[in-house]
Amino acid sequence: MMRTKLTMAERVASMIIGTALSIVGLILIALGLTFLPIIGIFVAFPVLALAFYFFRPGKWVIAAETETASIDAQETGAEESMAA
């Protein structure tokens, strides 16, 4: 069974890590545009992708909870209409 809820500590930790990686990625892009043209940009994009990975889990959990709630409502409605 897949866990659908994140604790508050996990959400805060994910936001802190995502924010830190975003800042590092933006610094690397700035360095890539000024001092290290090739290396800075090639390193910056994976760091930014990793930052967005850490921002993503909360959005997926909310979507999963919403879909589950709508599926449960549909099943309940179907059962009630069959009983009537």
pLDDT digits (tens, 9 = 90+) for 15-43: 899 999 999 999 999 988 888 888 888 88
pLDDT tens profile 35-65: 888 888 888 999 999 888 888 765 555 555 5
Instruction: Please determine, for residue 79, whether its predicted confidence score (pLDDT) is greater than 80.
Output: no
Residue 13 lies in a domain: yes
Domain count, the chain: 1
Residue 4 lies in a domain: no
Residue 2 lies in a domain: no
Q: What Cα–Cα distance (Å) separates residue 83 from each residue in 28, 70, 71, 77? A: 63, 20, 18, 10
Enclosing domain of residue 62: 9-83
The whole-number pLDDT of residue 41 equals 83
Residue 47 lies in a domain: yes
Tokens read off for 37: 């043209």
Tokens read off for 67: 């879909």
Residue 29 lies in a domain: yes
Residue 75 lies in a domain: yes
Residue 1 lies in a domain: no
pTM above 0.75, yes or no: no
Residue 73 lies in a domain: yes
